[in-house]
Amino acid sequence: MAPLVSCRAARRECRTKYIGIRSLEPTRTWEPPLLPPGPGLRSSIADMSAAIAALAASYGSGSGSESDSDSEGGRCPLPAADSLMHLTKSPSAKPSLAVAVDAAPEVAVKEDLETGVHLDPAVKEVQYNPTYETMFAPEFGPENPFRTQQMAAPRNMLSGYAEPAHINDFMFEQQRRTFATYGYALDPSLDNQVTTKYIGSVEEAEKNQGLTVFETGQKKIEKRKKFKENDASNIDGFLGPWAKYVDEKDVAKPSEEEQKELDEITAKRQKKGKLEDEKPGEEKTILHVKEMYDYQGRSYLHIPQDVGVNLRSSVPPEKCYLPKKQIHVWSGHTKGVSAVRLFPLSGHLLLSCSMDCKIKLWEVYGDRRCLRTFIGHSKAVRDICFNTAGTQFLSAAYDRYLKLWDTETGQCISRFTNRKVPYCVKFNPDEDKQNLFVAGMSDKKIVQWDIRSGEIVQEYDRHLGAVNTIVFVDENRRFVSTSDDKSLRVWEWDIPVDFKYIAEPSMHSMPAVTLSPNGKWLACQSMDNQILIFGAQNRFRLNKKKIFKGHMVAGYACQVDFSPDMSYVISGDGNGKLNIWDWKTTKLYSRFKAHDKVCIGAVWHPHETSKVITCGWDGLIKLWD
């Protein structure tokens, strides 16, 4: 058994060595080793071949049954002798000069073999200290043919390769400011110590010799010299910091060319001024009745007593009724009528002003004739106002003049102007202030004149728009004004600061305001097609329960009025209709067509139960009952 065991061990050893030798055989994918084969390798192969030859001889001397049993037992058969010929020693060769087959054939290498470790250029961290040659060795390997030139270029960010540049903050700011100011700066891609190159405006850089903004500072301007006298003990001659400059000129005279230009400008201004200074139209009056006085020597100002109504009474009628039909038309104006005013207290005369520049006085009772025409304005008359007695009245027109007329004789007593258009005018109703009146002007001011001197004695200048109305309240101690600035202001008489200012974002302009007969309420025609009621005592609060709607007045300053018994509110509208509301319920009771054009004015007769006078832009004045 001993020989069998040794034979099996030798076979196993032979098998392993054979497999190891086979592994050294060249294959198709084999690459030559970096190092050429040395003598040590050859000697080891020779030893192995000798051992294999000895084993082959011992196998050949064994019995065939044994080999058969081995082969049947699944052992690997040994290779034939001819297949191992290349591993046996050559019989002719000497033992010292034994040559074995080189399993690694020599390959001719054209270039020097690269030795050492190669670094992947994509790696950012290295675990050891590579040499400089290793770090900056050229890259090997095939290039990607599909990469563009930009993608193939070395990059450390998406758009390219950004080199970190170390520059002082001050230097950066210096170059930036120099470039912003002069248009040139040092080229940042070059080392400034080696060469100096500029980018931007090179000519400017050469002109300034490359100086930066911090080096080309403006030279300090020499201060102007002053006269010096700082001795404070010299009381008369002490100048101190108030001294004049040595080269200072007290009077600046224009040159000849400048003087010519100035003369031309002043001449033009004088011409314009002459055109603006329109002379007031010549005042005249026409009496339309045969005799001015009756057989008793009474003029038309005398209050009649035979009309069926006590016109001297101060008590209003107990119950008023709705007017239903037209009973008279006063025609005489050739253009639209702007306003109508009844004679104070009695209401037996009617004054009207028109866009035909004329003012007419009419009878309300009797024959209802036109008594007198007042001519004197050159443009449309905007507003009129009687004094308390009715003996005089004021007219305001677009010719920028306010004129005071005598109601009885028709004479123009005086004229007033401040070169602005008056929009409304009111006498102070107090008996002791009949010489004073106020007018709302187009230049946002309320101007107060004295008739006796003809001079402006006060200006109420707080509105932000043209003044539209003035109404006296609170026993004539105060007055209310409205304006295009959509506000309502309350003033103390003769105090030019408003003590009450009412303006809400929802408010509209209110170009027509009327005081109620009992003096407690102000009816304001608002441009959002409503009539608003404000309290006329103390707080001037808006009465939200009394808002009168249903008419169209946007854009027109339609006059509002009350019935004498405070049961109705009346107003014209932009469609020429007369609207009548109930005071308590604010319901629209009646509406009827009064004029073909805008019905601008409506007045309820203070002593009649149902007589209403309206005027419109159709040039007619109508009486309704």
What CATH number should be reported for the domain holding residue 534?
A: 2.130.10.10
Structure tokens at 287: 């009496």
Per-residue confidence (pLDDT) for residue 214, from 0 to 100: 84
- 315 and 183, same structural domain? no
- Block means of pLDDT (10 residues each) for the chain, 625 residues, are 51 54 46 49 64 67 46 48 57 56 73 71 86 84 84 83 81 90 86 73 87 74 84 87 86 86 90 62 90 91 92 92 95 95 95 96 94 95 96 95 95 94 95 95 95 94 96 94 96 94 95 95 96 92 95 95 96 96 95 95 95 96 96
- 513 and 373, same structural domain? yes
- 330 and 188, same structural domain? no
Per-residue confidence (pLDDT) for residue 569, from 0 to 100: 97
- 312 and 203, same structural domain? no
How many domains, in total, are found in the chain? 2
Q: Which residue intervals of 62-99 are DSSP H helices?
A: 64-72
Give me the amino acid identity at 583. Answer: W
Q: Is residue 306 part of a domain?
A: yes
Q: Is residue 146 part of a domain?
A: no
Contact 172, 155 (CB under 8 A): no
Domain that residue 399 falls in:
285-624
Residue position matching structure tokens 């401040």? 418
Structure tokens at 525: 């025609």
Give 614's Cβ-side CA count (13 Å radius).
31
Buried b (16+ CB within 10 A) or exposed e, 446-462: bbbbebeeeeeebebeb
Residue 200, helix vs strand vs coil: strand
Give 529's Cβ-side CA count (13 Å radius).
7
Contact 422, 382 (CB under 8 A): yes
Q: Is residue 569 part of a domain?
A: yes
Q: Is residue 499 part of a domain?
A: yes
Q: Is residue 248 part of a domain?
A: no
Q: Is residue 388 part of a domain?
A: yes
Question: What is residue 309's DSSP assignment?
Answer: S
- 453 and 555, same structural domain? yes
- 189 and 295, same structural domain? no
- 601 and 498, same structural domain? yes
Provide the 10 A C-beta neighbour count for residue 576.
19
Domain boundary among 159, 178, 208: 208
- 189 and 315, same structural domain? no
Q: Which residue intervals of 122-255 are DSSP H helices?
A: 132-135, 149-152, 169-182, 202-207
- 442 and 585, same structural domain? yes
Domain boundary among 161, 186, 208: 208
Give me the amino acid identity at 111. Answer: E
- 307 and 423, same structural domain? yes
Q: In what order do the strands lie in the sheet with 370-375?
A: 284-287, 370-375, 358-363, 349-354, 337-342
Give me the amino acid identity at 578. Answer: L
Question: What is residue 240's DSSP assignment?
Answer: G
Handedness of CA 193, 197, 200, 203 (dihedral sign): positive
Structure tokens at 14: 């032979």
- 419 and 548, same structural domain? yes
Give the H/E segment covering residue 533.
Answer: strand 530-535
Domain boundary among 181, 208, 235: 208
Q: Is residue 330 part of a domain?
A: yes
Per-residue confidence (pLDDT) for residue 543, from 0 to 100: 94
Per-residue confidence (pLDDT) for residue 321, from 0 to 100: 95
- 420 and 520, same structural domain? yes
Give how far Cα 501 sits from Cα of 64, 402, 490, Å: 139, 28, 7
Q: Is residue 556 part of a domain?
A: yes
Structure tokens at 283: 């005042």
